[in-house]
Structure formats: C-alpha cells, structure tokens
Amino acid sequence: MTTITRNPAPPSVDPDLLAAFRDVATATISDCLDRMPVLSGLRAFHRRGRLLGTAFTVRVRAGDNLAIHQALEEVRRGDVIVVDGGDDTSRALVGDIMKAIAESRGVAGFVIDGAVRDSDAFADADFPCYARAATPRGPFKTGPGAINVPVCVGGWTVNPGDVVVGDADGVVTFAPDIATPLIEAVRAQAARETEVLALIRAGRYDGRYARVAKA
C-alpha cells in the first residue's frame, strides 16, 4: 500500500505582508539574511514573472511524483509547491499537465529540487517554475511521499508556511515571523545601494562603499 504522509496546511502568509516583497530583489533579501537563504542550483524555466507566495512543501522518492499529485488536490490559491526531489534529475517530476492543474487552482508557482519536462510549455508561459534540470523521461507514480513537512531544497531547509520569493536570479525563503524586520532591513539596504549608484554616476565612488554594494 502506497503511503503519503499528509499534514495540515500551514497558515497562509498575510497578503499585505507578502505584497511588501513583491518588487524586492532576491539578492537584497539574501544580503540582509547573511547571504544564507538561497535555494542553490535551481534556475528559472518560465518566460518571465516573479514568484511570491506561501510554501506548500512536498517530499518525494527520487523520480516519483505521486505526492505532488496529492498536493495539487490540497493546495490553496497563492501557495508555492516546493518539492524536495533529493537533487535527482533522472526523471521529471512535473510537466505541462501538472502546470495546467496548478494554474487552474491558483498556485503561485513550482520550486522543484529535481527535473521538469515539457520545458517549452514553461518557457512560453509566465507561470513561475524553478528546477534543477529538464529531461523527457517521465516519473514513477507509486510513492511514498510526505506533504507539509520540512524539506531540503538546494541545501536550504524550507518549512511549510515559509515565504517564497523568486526572480531571475533564483529563489530565497524565510520564516514569516521575520518578515517585518526583514522588509525594514531590505528597504534600508536598497536606499544605500541607490546612493552608491548615484555616486558612481557622479564619478564620486570609492572603495569605502564596497560593503554596501551587492556585487
């Protein structure tokens, strides 16, 4: 008998709190959190568009997507399906059909520590999808798996209910209870970087400002 461990969905993050991060660069968020909360090794497969939402986590057996199908039955609008696929890229965990299901249910995007397929369908769309690789080889559908448990994606632990932000650089996550002080730090950092750019354009920049710049 296939076992999918199912836990209750985490509380959704306050929409106003999420909205504060809508235009914030992932690089700035990472800088303000000691450059730590980055989901390494993932890249964007979609055409354009930012990712922002609440983590709905899934852990699967390598190459098996049964638990993701179950998650699509339980996910809420605004959730990001975050999948711990164990870095395995031998089989695709999601493709065009699962993308269509997710979009129809208001899912904010996919973050897959594994492979996808039907990459042209993602490339032609604005539905956010981050993954490690693409392969035409399809998945197993036998389990086991777990839903709404802590997962490891790209070397970083993502907990159910974490805030997920993605842009062209990649994906970062953080606990919602630090969102308020974090957005204050992010705004201060952005202001400092704006000042540095103004100094550069004015020909007045020197090495004293190096610590302020992202790169």
Residue 76 annotated as binding site: no
Q: What single DSSP character describes residue 38? A: B
Token duo for residue 115 = 């492979």
User: How would you class 192 by CB atoms within 10 Å of its CB: exposed for 0-12, middle for 13-18, buried for 19 or more?
Assistant: middle
Residue 118 annotated as binding site: yes
Q: Cβ distance 32 to 140 under 8 Å? A: no
| Dist CA 22 CA 79 (whole Å) | 15
Residue 97 annotated as binding site: yes
| Selection from 43, 32, 20, 47 nearest residue 163 by Cα | 20
Residue 145 annotated as binding site: no
Backbone angles phi, psi at 59, to 5 degrees: -115, 130
Residue 35 annotated as binding site: no
Residue 98 annotated as binding site: yes
| Dist CA 53 CA 81 (whole Å) | 9
Residue positions forming the annotated binding site for substrate: 95-98, 117
Positions at the binding site? 95-98, 117-118
Binding site residue list for Mg(2+): 118
